[in-house]
Structure 1
């Protein structure tokens, strides 16, 4: 028996390859899906089935592409928002054989209407299910979000409660294999590990501690989640199917002359925030490689062209990979070398950094031409905020920047300064000239108090 977890960094997406006696199946493949074929062939396995736990909102599925590569059958749940043109429908009670392994289907709506869990049975261990692929219904330390049907909020929260009871009924011995780990936008309380059992989750997962259905529903209704605009793009592409990822996940090399004349919709600087703040191309936005999956979809729309700027070729390649996985393929090229560009007379912009003493001084003086702008999420804000600060979540600045006064001075803060750099870079690209970043942000403030 083979069971291999394949993690997609940035998205914290977890997909799986399982196999037995020459046959294999993939659960929730990503768009750049050659990896599954390579791993299967290395083990002497043929991929015959592709199982989708649900229509993903945060990444493009690789199922239709992988099906064309392998001839495998794609299985998806009933009640999708629209016809999944590349998949057959699997329903509760269906059983699929993968060598000596069996996959049985549970319908587990709540996170989405079409959500399924796939229960793993091994004929060599008849005591009970070996594990269950829980998709976005049950995570390690958390459960799925239920905010995708706002007009049915109470109903779908109740459906998730019922689905979780069904999953827990598989037995404490069953290992859970979720579709996401910590850092995913699909849950806020996931543990920083990717292994667990139903028994452990039953005893330790805060949401599974709620035994009363109505109490569970109220807890889910009280949650706050953000929905980036690119979720709508993912939903559409995961119904229609999409093209394969580009064969070469490295952007075309841009020269300095190209950068001077570039006409891309977005120039995206993927270096670390301190490097960006010290000097960057005017009009460029700050999206460090490790933050692209979380924030690019807030600021870049489908079809908009992108030029990448980085400090190394591998950095540009990683950035392009992250962008392709969320459908932002229109990358015109990449440039390496901000320092050489500056040395050749290229005009540079910068963003000053300030510390806690300066923030305290400005607050005490009650400057009427200045705002401390907190760009953390609402849950962070509720857990502690600096008196006198204003709040707009970093992602929502994609449009809410229009509410702000370009003549006003802003110090941008978050928990450490990382998201503040993203926010400040976006505001600067929109014509805000009186900006600085609170270095250390809330962490520094709490340490000083």
Structure 2
């Protein structure tokens, strides 16, 4: 018997292949499914079953892609919220045999109403559980968010409490926990950097499992989670007949400068994948700063689905990786990348934009001198509640494009975050919207705390 983990960086998504003998199952596959086919080939097994532990909000599932290619059966939890034409609904107790191993369905609602967990057993250990694939019900050092049903907040928090304490923990301390996400996922807040654990360890150390029912429900209903608009898109596509029919995206190719400029004039949105500092030093006018390692966190907030995208990248490899990351959350309209990047653009005599920058010492001096400018804090609500610059304006970066009318275009705006990276994204959005005097505060809150800026708490 084997269990093999496939980790998708950026999204912090964990999927699995488990098998024994000649049979294997894949749990929560990502869109680009060839990785599972390669594992199956290497292991000498046939993929016979595909499980979805819950309705995915943060990525495109690869279940139908994989089923189409392998003939495997897709199984998922029962729901009356929507139809999933390509899957068979299963209830508690459904058991799938994989050689001498087996997976048994346990209904664990709370994160979503259709959430299931899968208990792994082997004939040598009888009914004693070896492991459990918990989806988004239980993470390492955290539990799933329960805010997808705001009108039923207490009900679903209670459902998750029951799932954890009545369904999962009774499986035994020895049971290995295989969650669907690791640290960095938007599906939780306090996940550990480890990708695996045991029920015994979680029972002893997971903060959420130490709470009484009353305290658990109060804590879960009091949490604040950001809700990216692309979640709705993922739900829509994942419940359709064919989410992501292409197994892998078409990798972007280089576009000559003249053709790139022409496409931009025709409506292509330019997305710059380079480091924020590089973007600030020079970029294609009208482009959005979205560093490659921040795509999973912010693309779904700032990029439209109905607009073709052109990439500015530091290398062909960076462009190709970004296209794959974008495809995993449903962005398929990638035209290509700018041949020669910004230098190539500039060599044709075209204009290159920049925006201002202010470091920590100058920022503090300007605050102390009461210089007239707007400090735009684009951090999340929990970050701002911990500490904020006196007199600053808070608009979460994901909401910025919809709230631009709250800002005065005639004033200088200094964008601010934790370090300056998100601030650079915000500065690019403001500049694209016609704000003429925009600066990014490099260092932002980290520098402010080091220098002793006046903060409100």
In the superposition, the TM-score normalised over structure 2's length comes to: 0.95
1:172 is the counterpart of 2:173: yes
Specify the alignment match of 1:183 in structure 2. Answer: 184
**Shift of residue 405 of structure 1?**
1.8
Specify the alignment match of 2:154 in structure 1. Answer: 154
- Structure 2: how far apart are the matches of 1:207 and 1:89? 30
Matches within 5 A, 1:302-313: 302-313=305-316
Specify the alignment match of 1:199 in structure 2. Answer: 200
Deviation per CA, 1:78-136: give whole Å up to 9, x if none: 12520111100111111110111110111011100100000111222337211100000
- Structure 1: how far apart are the matches of 2:129 and 2:247? 39
Out of 354, 358, 376, the position equivalent to 2:358 is 354
**Shift of residue 365 of structure 1?**
2.9
Deviation per CA, 1:315-358: give whole Å up to 9, x if none: 00011001101011111111142123223322111122211222
Specify the alignment match of 2:24 in structure 1. Answer: 24
1:413 is the counterpart of 2:416: yes
**Shift of residue 244 of structure 1?**
2.5
Give structure 1 stretches of 5+ with no counterpart: none
1:285 is the counterpart of 2:288: yes
Specify the alignment match of 1:252 in structure 2. Answer: 253
- Structure 1: how far apart are the matches of 2:348 and 2:323? 27
Runs of at least 4 residues off by over 3 Å: 245-249
Deviation per CA, 1:234-284: give whole Å up to 9, x if none: 001111131333645421321111122123441100011111111000100
Q: After the TM superposition, which of the residue ranges 278-287 and 344-353 deviates more from structure 2?
A: 344-353
- Structure 1: how far apart are the matches of 2:331 and 2:384? 30
- Structure 1: how far apart are the matches of 2:437 and 2:27? 49
1:112 is the counterpart of 2:112: yes
Give structure 2 stretches of 5+ with no counterpart: 453-457
When residues 376 and 164 of structure 1 are mapped into structure 2, their CA distance, relative to the original with a 3 A threshold, is: same
Q: Judge conservation of contact 1:245–1:324 (CA < 8 Å) in 2.
A: no
- Structure 1: how far apart are the matches of 2:217 and 2:85? 33
In the superposition, the TM-score normalised over structure 1's length comes to: 0.97
When residues 333 and 105 of structure 1 are mapped into structure 2, their CA distance, relative to the original with a 3 A threshold, is: same
When residues 150 and 265 of structure 1 are mapped into structure 2, their CA distance, relative to the original with a 3 A threshold, is: farther
CA RMSD of aligned residues (A): 1.3
- Structure 2: how far apart are the matches of 1:145 and 1:185? 9
When residues 248 and 330 of structure 1 are mapped into structure 2, their CA distance, relative to the original with a 3 A threshold, is: closer
- Structure 2: how far apart are the matches of 1:250 and 1:330? 11
Q: Judge conservation of contact 1:352–1:436 (CA < 8 Å) in 2.
A: yes
When residues 350 and 80 of structure 1 are mapped into structure 2, their CA distance, relative to the original with a 3 A threshold, is: farther
**Shift of residue 181 of structure 1?**
0.6
- Structure 1: how far apart are the matches of 2:65 and 2:251? 20
Q: Judge conservation of contact 2:34–2:247 (CA < 8 Å) in 1.
A: no
Q: After the TM superposition, which of the residue ranges 258-267 and 100-109 deviates more from structure 2?
A: 258-267
Q: After the TM superposition, which of the residue ranges 236-245 and 304-313 deviates more from structure 2?
A: 236-245
Q: Judge conservation of contact 1:267–1:285 (CA < 8 Å) in 2.
A: yes
Specify the alignment match of 2:382 in structure 1. Answer: 379
SS in 2 for 1:82: coil
SS in 2 for 1:51: strand
Q: After the TM superposition, which of the residue ranges 347-356 and 113-122 deviates more from structure 2?
A: 347-356
- Structure 1: how far apart are the matches of 2:316 and 2:4? 30
Q: Judge conservation of contact 2:249–2:324 (CA < 8 Å) in 1.
A: no
- Structure 2: how far apart are the matches of 1:191 and 1:74? 30
SS in 2 for 1:396: helix
Specify the alignment match of 2:275 in structure 1. Answer: 272
SS in 2 for 1:47: strand
Specify the alignment match of 1:133 in structure 2. Answer: 133
